[in-house]
Chain A
Amino acid sequence: MTATTAETTARVRKVFRPTWVDTFLWAIRIGAILVIAWGLIGSIQNFAAGRGLSASQWRDLIIAGLSQGAMYGLLALGYSMVYGVLGFINFAHGEVFMSGAMVGFIAANWLFDAGIWAANPILSLLIVLAVAMLTSTLVAILVERVAYRKLRGAPRLIPLITSIGVSFFLQYTFATLFGVGVRTYPQAPEMFAGALSIGGFRIGKASLLVIVVAILSMIGLWYFVTRTKSGQAMRAVAEDKEIAALMGIDVDRTIVTVFAVGGAMAGVAALMWAILFRGVNFFTGFLPGIKAFTSAVLGGIGNLVGAMGGGVLLGLFEGVGPLLILGGLGIPGVSQLKDVVAFTALVLVLVFRPSGLFGERLGSEDRV
């Protein structure tokens, strides 16, 4: 018995001959690892020689990366949930985020003019958060209703192309309504400026706020998905739409819930963007959207905890990577290449491990 098994394995091994495509992919993998290792060594050498950034600067970069990563994570949830349930990439999710940030800006600006911003900063932030969440949720639901509902069961690429159309439509809707210029949120209230020292570890208050908000939203989402009836319905629909329908679950409504929850999380992310970067315009959603999608894939698409983890990882990588790796290689103008690093991460993730670090969770018909 054992002998035959061994024999079959041997035979299988003989049959499996790597094609040149495999060779090429392995070359890419090894090359990527070599480049990264080379950069790391260079950076460590620099650091040991006292060149480049100091330890505290590296720490700041890490914290900035973490807070940005938390934002990507929240956005990634939207991609992950929609992919898990409907099996397509909602390319327009970045624009859902952008619309929250844009309309949130109007609220913030109004609060600032009315003097509430300075007088009552926590209330103002809550109002902006509510406006951003509401806008993003509404836009997400609207997009689902108008564009995606008709396409259930269509070939996989059709909803993707549709979502690209939606994405550009939303972008230029905002561009033509609000103008193309960058709008800047009012200066963060004083109580969020400066840094805080926790156990000898200094961290910017804004970054801390972003990380705390992300953790709170994540807990809220976790509770919603695992402990409520709607969350249960969502998981059932993600597993198998037809069976879920047979069990008496209203699939359409559940899908709307998925989009609404994803939109709400995008709204939270929009507030984070406002705190971290302040400037918004119609194109704000494009790059974070793609990065968030990368995070979702990195964490394993359909996997909610994975999405958050993937976001944090990507944020860290993006915050530290350019200086650590490209800087170590001695490449000038590193900050320009920040997005190249993010896109390269996307390509590498999909080449190395398309099923993600924490494993995919897809419905029965979407597993490939």
Chain B
Amino acid sequence: MTAATIDAVTPKASRLDVRRLLRMGGLTGLAMTFIAANGMLETFNNRLLIRPILSMGYLLFLAIPFVMGFLIGRRVEVEGVETAPRTAADVVMAVVAGLLAGLIAALFAAIVNAFPGLRGTFPRFSPAMVSVLTFGFGVGTGFLLLPGVAAVVGAVGVGMHWLSDRLRKAVSVAALVVVVAAVFESVVKDFFEWFATLPRFLYHPGGGLKVVSAIVLFIVAGVASFFLQGRKMPGFAGLTSQDATERRRSSLIAAVLVLALTIVVPMLLGGVLNELLTNVGLFMLMGLGLNIVVGYAGLLDLGYVAFFAVGAYTMALLTSPLSSVPFQLNWWQAFPIVLVMAALAGLFIGTPVIRMRGDYLAIVTLGFGEIIRYLFLSDWLSPYFGGAQGVRRVPGIPLGSNLVGGSDITVFVYFTLFFVAIAAYVSWRLQDSRIGRAWAAMREDEDIAEAVGIDTVKAKLLAFVTGAVLASFAGALFAAKVGTVFAHSFEIIVSIIILVVVIVGGMGNIAGVAVGALVLVGVLGGPNQPGLLQEFGEYKLLVYGALLVFMMLQKPEGLLPSARRARELHQEEYLQDAWLDKGGQFVGSEQEA
């Protein structure tokens, strides 16, 4: 390592790095301006997390200078190189950068205020937006207030590094608990219907946490976290260190626990949340299916929604009295046919792409997805598929003498969870099976896999077929749930969201996919379904896009990675290349490898 590299790794703390300061401040200012300009701040301001002092909009807005401060104060620890000491220079830098950022945002507010004509092009540039941006005090005061607030928050961000590790963790956990409690307001209210005192104590009648309860929660969670830290917790890290039989037992216990939860939780939730849970379940199903194709076999399928569509349309055509199919089956009778159709679709789409290199495969599957959607939508085939009208009056799932459809969501959710459980079990059994190992080998190196006798054609097709069948579970359920199947539900964005779920959760890991679906689809929402934070509406796709980029750059293995996949993605070779390309600067997660 040359002297220059060491300098790059450990910036001299005593000197104020002006270029870094300008870059940090400028980027922060632009980010703050961005979320104001596209209306996120204003829209999210309608959702109060802590009434009346903190809205989701301001939380997001202030998180930006906070992260800036945190990054300014961070010291990248590199083995063998002494880390620069923390000095007051960091605080000065954060404050100045915060001032700069706030100034940019204030300038933006002033521009919007001065040129009302801009609204013709940018519909979000309204006086209301300026008012929210300047904390309701107008542009003049905003010029003082915005830089001031950004500087203070930036300094707090740096200050996080001055706390001891233990205290910092406790504060983070406490803040997280408060935010989660606020976001999950409707869940908590549903859960404690039998003990309404608790939600009444926690939440303001108009929505959002009360100030008092937020403080109490913060303190309780902080203290608990501070004193409980360091104790042995049965977490994932603990799990991997256990030996085989022990691990088997703990995972069995975990499975039973999860199973018990899935039975109990829907009973406690009301209709709206069960609807949400059903949507989450459908995305879990598709996520688990795509996980087999992308996570296990390493085939990037961007048209995965096609199998969902095939499942839904087949089920709808076979069960609806209005369809072009002359006979009518009930859901259970039609189900095997749906699976066969999906498997055939998997074969049909899988075979032509089998010899293609990975990136071409991705684009061709995307093409197939769109072709299928256009065909379902077309006038040409509308005698069969109903064109833009779709297939209507799809009955629910027969259970006893009832038909369970979308209107009986509290029952329907169990069907969904049942199929999720099946999909999870199938994925789990496949993972280390003969074909699972073949997939892993193929994913790492196709040529070598072939050389050691793996039939890659068979392995690839099996991945496609299994993935397709799991997606058709979701399709069949979806048809029964919504009652009307039409092509609009199967746009490319669905494939992308499933991909984000798999990638954020952790490719190749069942628990990761489940958690990914729960967090992303549950909180942000699916392509056409609102999540817990309904305010995200039109912004969720923006967030999904940004999330995908962020994950790829910082943590390509996902939040809950499968151990094997993580190793692949952080290969020595990759590290060295990255090292050379960056002039020897360590960035982000590489040091974890």
Q: Which residues of A contact B (CB under 8 A)?
A: 19, 21, 24-25, 28, 88-89, 106, 109, 147, 149-162, 164-173, 175-180, 290, 293, 297, 331-333, 336-337, 339-340, 343-344, 346-347, 350-351, 354, 368
Contact = CB atoms under 8 A, between A and B. Distances in A.
B364 A350 contact: yes
B121 A109 contact: yes
B37 A150 contact: no
B135 to A, nearest CB: 22
Given A157-B359, A165-B552, A339-B374, A172 B581 contact: no
A156 B541 contact: no
B352 interface: yes
Main secondary structure of the interface of B (DSSP, over half): helix
Return the 10 tightest CB-CB contacts between A and B, nearest first. Answer: A165-B548, A153-B577, A169-B545, A168-B545, A333-B379, A176-B38, A172-B542, A165-B549, A162-B552, A343-B367
A354 B360 contact: yes
B300 interface: yes
Given A336-B379, A347-B367, A155 B359 contact: no
A354 B568 CA distance: 28
B359 A88 contact: yes
Given A89-B363, A290-B363, A333-B379, A152 B578 contact: yes
Interface string B537-555: 0110110111111101100
Given A164-B302, A165-B552, A173-B542, 10 more contacts: A149-B581, A150-B578, A151-B553, A161-B499, A169-B549, A176-B40, A179-B123, A290-B367, A340-B371, A343-B370
Main secondary structure of the interface of A (DSSP, over half): helix
Contact of A178 (B123, B358, B378, B578): B123
A346 B552 contact: no
A169 B496 CA distance: 12
Contact of A153 (B360, B362, B578): B578
B546 A175 contact: no
Given A152-B578, A161-B499, A165-B547, A346 B364 contact: yes
B312 interface: no
B418 interface: no
B539 A176 contact: yes
Q: Which of under 10, 10 to 19, 20 to 34, or 35 or more describes the interface residues of B? A: 35 or more
Nearest to B351: A24
B457 interface: yes
A332 B358 CA distance: 36
A178 B363 contact: no
Nearest to B582: A150
B542 A176 contact: yes
Contacts of B352: 24-25, 28, 347, 351
Contacts of A166: 545, 549
Contact of A293 (B363, B379, B577, B578): B363
A175 B38 CA distance: 9
Contact of A336 (B37, B355, B377): B377
Contact of B380 (A149, A170, A331): A331
A170 B548 CA distance: 12
A164 B375 CA distance: 24
Nearest to A89: B359
B302 A25 contact: no
Contacts of B300: 157, 160-161
A117 to B, nearest CB: 16
B359 A290 contact: no
Given A25-B351, A157-B358, A339-B370, A165 B123 contact: no
Of A147, A159, A169, A332, most B-chain CB atoms within 10 Å = A169
18 contacts: A21-B355, A147-B549, A147-B553, A150-B588, A152-B581, A160-B359, A161-B548, A164-B499, A166-B549, A169-B546, A173-B34, A175-B542, A331-B380, A343-B371, A344-B371, A350-B363, A350-B364, A351-B352
Of B40, B298, B351, most A-chain CB atoms within 10 Å = B351
A150 B583 CA distance: 11
Contact of B581 (A153, A336, A339): A153
A172 B364 CA distance: 24
A179 B300 CA distance: 32
Contact of B378 (A157, A337, A344, A368): A337
A164 B588 CA distance: 21
B380 A152 contact: no
Contact of A350 (B360, B371, B548): B360
A178 B121 contact: yes
Of A25, A154, A293, most B-chain CB atoms within 10 Å = A154
Interface in B338-357: 351-357
Contacts, number: 176
A168 B121 CA distance: 21
Interface in B540-574: 541-542, 544-550, 552-553, 556, 568-569, 573-574
Contacts of B227: none
B137 interface: no
A176 B545 contact: no
Contacts of A169: 542, 545-546, 548-549
A164 B545 CA distance: 8
A168 B499 CA distance: 13
A167 B364 contact: no
B364 A176 contact: no
B541 to A, nearest CB: 5
A305 B404 CA distance: 59
B368 interface: yes
Contacts of A161: 300, 499, 503, 548, 552
A213 to B, nearest CB: 26
A333 B545 contact: no
A176 B125 CA distance: 11
A290 B40 CA distance: 30
Nearest to B370: A343
Nearest to A22: B355
A150 B363 CA distance: 23
A21 B355 CA distance: 9
Contacts of B212: none
B544 to A, nearest CB: 6
A167 to B, nearest CB: 7
Contacts of B378: 333, 336-337, 340
Contacts of A344: 367, 371
A88 B568 CA distance: 19
B542 A106 contact: no
B369 to A, nearest CB: 9
Contacts of B425: none
Interface string B48-92: 000000000000000000000000000000000000000000000
Interface in B358-393: 358-360, 362-364, 366-368, 370-371, 374-375, 377-380
A159 B122 CA distance: 32
A172 B123 CA distance: 14
B539 A172 contact: yes
Contacts of B506: none
B362 A160 contact: yes
Contact of B545 (A89, A109, A172, A346): A172
B102 interface: no
Contacts of A165: 500, 544-550, 552
A343 B371 CA distance: 6
A28 B352 CA distance: 8
Contacts of A172: 538-539, 541-542, 545
B587 interface: yes
A350 B375 CA distance: 20
B302 to A, nearest CB: 7
Contacts of B302: 164
Interface string B299-330: 01010000000000000000000000000000
A162 B367 contact: no
A156 B358 contact: yes
B565 to A, nearest CB: 11
A332 B387 CA distance: 12
B124 interface: yes
Nearest to B541: A172
B396 interface: no
